[in-house]
Amino acid sequence: MPHLKENHNKKTRDYNLLTERECKICNKTKPMSKFRRGYKTCRSCQYINNSSPTYRQKKEIKIKCITDGSISVYKNTMDLEKSNIISRSRFRNILKSKKNTFKSYKNKMEYLIISVL
Ligand SMILES: [Zn+2]
Enumerate residues with CB within 5 Å of ligand 1 (an ion). 23, 25-26, 42, 45
Distance CA 34, CA 45 (A): 10
How far apart are the CA of 29 and the centre of ligand 1, in A? Answer: 8
pLDDT in tens, 5-61: 888 888 877 776 778 899 998 999 999 888 888 888 898 888 776 655 555 567 799
pLDDT in tens, 59-81: 799 999 999 999 999 998 889 99
How far apart are the CA of 42 and the centre of ligand 1, in A? Answer: 4
Distance CA 60, CA 79 (A): 10
What does the pLDDT read at residue 63? 96
How far apart are the CA of 86 and the centre of ligand 1, in A? Answer: 37
How far apart are the CA of 72 and the centre of ligand 1, in A? Answer: 40
What does the pLDDT read at residue 7? 87
Over residues 101-115, mean pLDDT:
94
